[in-house]
Amino acid sequence: MASRRVSSLLSRSLFSLRGKGPLVNRGARRYSNLASALEDTITPPVKVQHTQLLLNGKFVDSASGKTFPTLDPRTGEVIAQVAEGDVEDVNRAVVAARKAFDQGPWPRMTAYERSKILFRFADLIEKHNDEIAALETWDNGKPYEQSAKIEVPMLARVFRYYAGWADKIHGMTVPGDGSHHVQTLHEPIGVAGQIIPWNFPLLMLSWKLGPALACGNTVVLKTAEQTPLSALLVGRLLHEAGLPEGVVNIVSGFGPTAGAAIASHMDIDKVAFTGSTDVGKIVLELASKSNLKAVTLELGGKSPFIVCEDADVDQAVELAHFALFFNQGQCCCAGSRTFVHERVYDEFVEKAKARAINRAVGDPFKSGIEQGPQVDSEQFEKILKYIRHGVDSGATLQAGGDRHGSKGYYIQPTVFSDVKDDMLIAKDEIFGPVQTILKFKDLDEVIARANNSRYGLAAGVFTQNLDTANRLMRALRVGSVWINCFDVFDATIPFGGYKMSGIGREKGIYSLNNYLQVKAVVTSIKNPAWL
């Protein structure tokens, strides 16, 4: 699927799509209809095949023999017991990755040969699209239509993008001041440690593995303990595509043990982490206290979505709804502070309330469902706590505000109006289906308020005025600004944040720099014909 097609699907409501895969077409259930919305739990059309660690090209048990349960967020029931990687398993993975880098064929084969393996891998992703998507939905809770029609195709697109880059990475010849030949070499950094989150397990895997492999590195990757299953399946497909043993090693486990071991390991040359800002600080500290390894961080956000006075309110409501509620609100760049101009504020609030009430919530394997469960009980309880904070602090609860149904981790789409900047729901990253709507008078005011955050990941602007758009795109201190769209994630577009939203950029050409060292080579020239 071409990148333009993927991003166009992603930048509008995903949920007008109707799948023909293993979905049960029972129609959309609205969150207000609690009795029928969760009447049945569909048996996922996939079997769990891999629950062990993937080390040196083989699936193996953890050194301790310990396992942990991964749960179905629709019910809270156990899907499978997964091998629990620990410090010793990270050591095993690093030994395999180091041997593959220092002695193996991966960094020594031609870049063209590496690209062919990555292209074959992308083909296998497409071949197994429905199986991968079903596993992702089962473990994470996101709608199957989102997994199958958006995220897995984008997974293949990202790997094709970086496969294309593999044989286009090179240094330069540069002029020196004397009789010297000067060149730069762009070399793989070595063994990369990568720690991915649970909200977009496979997309975040692709954003990290793609550039690392294209540059000729080897990898130790830790999955989130909430969602370990899809990466293991994808790891098998990588080896079916011809990836040499030890190049990619996948460890399932917990942050304080396996994650900390990666961040602090003396034989890992670079670490990339996506997750919360608080944990990102720990990763950065461990990296600096060990071998001062290079660090890329993609962290939290509290992104403003600014609806200007000239907005078409119906369109603005729909886009703002998508910007916040996409992926159950579990999105680091969610438009979680909806700033609306006072001229259209009241109309916007009423229509945003109606849209939330009509949002289809239920089993993510059902056709037409827009919102599945939150990922686990911890996230579920955290969101409900923030909703209570919102009510207690004086914000007006327009819609939702409670759990949805009686089992699983479903939450009603929730809308607050009359929100003030100093309320917790306007400052903290809730990471859930809670829309906060704030009123503003003019551009100077909204720029100052939008930038008054420790985060700087993304922003949305909805306006018909080119001058307004140009002013806001430059004034907002964020890494991405979407104008009259949101969540457009082409493989070519860099993504990352200002301030406490992270360090570095992922995707696009910029991410290659995360996995390369630049070496200057200077050679003396005797009697040069020219300089």
Active site residues: 298
212: left (phi > 0), else alpha (psi -120 to 50), else beta?
alpha
Q: Kindly give, in sequence order, each residue whose CB lies less than 8 Å from that of residue 15, ignoring residues fewer than 6 positions away.
A: 143, 145, 146, 360, 368, 369, 370
Q: How far apart are CA 103 and CA 436, in angstroms?
A: 54
Tell me, what amino acid is at 423? M
Three-state DSSP state, 479: coil
Instruction: Collapse the DSSP code of 345 into the 3-class scheme (helix H, G, I; strand E, B; otherwise coil) and give the result.
Output: helix
Name the phi and psi angles at 276, rounded to 5.
Answer: -75, 155
At 416, the amino acid letter reads F
8 Å CB contact between 324 and 336: yes
How many CB atoms within 10 Å of residue 452?
Answer: 11
Structure tokens at 424: 């917790």
CA distance 70 to 27: 29
Q: Are 255 and 280 in contact (CB under 8 A)?
A: no
Q: Are 153 and 132 a contacting pair, CB within 8 Å?
A: no
Q: Give the whole-angstrom CA distance, residue 225 versus residue 228.
A: 6
Residues whose CB is less than 8 angstroms from the CB of residue 524 and which lie 6 or more positions away in sequence, other chains included: 179, 180
d(CA 246, CA 41): 39
Give the pair of three-digit tokens for residue 517. Answer: 């060292």
The DSSP result for 18-40, as a single string, is ---SS-B-----BTT-HHHHTS-
> In what helix (H) or strand (E) does residue 318 lie, and over which residues does it extend?
helix 313-325
Structural tokens at position 123:
């083909």
Distance CA 252, CA 229 (A): 9
Q: Which residues contact 324 (CB under 8 A, 6 or more apart)?
A: 305, 334, 335, 336, 338, 433, 434, 435
Strand partners, 518: 186
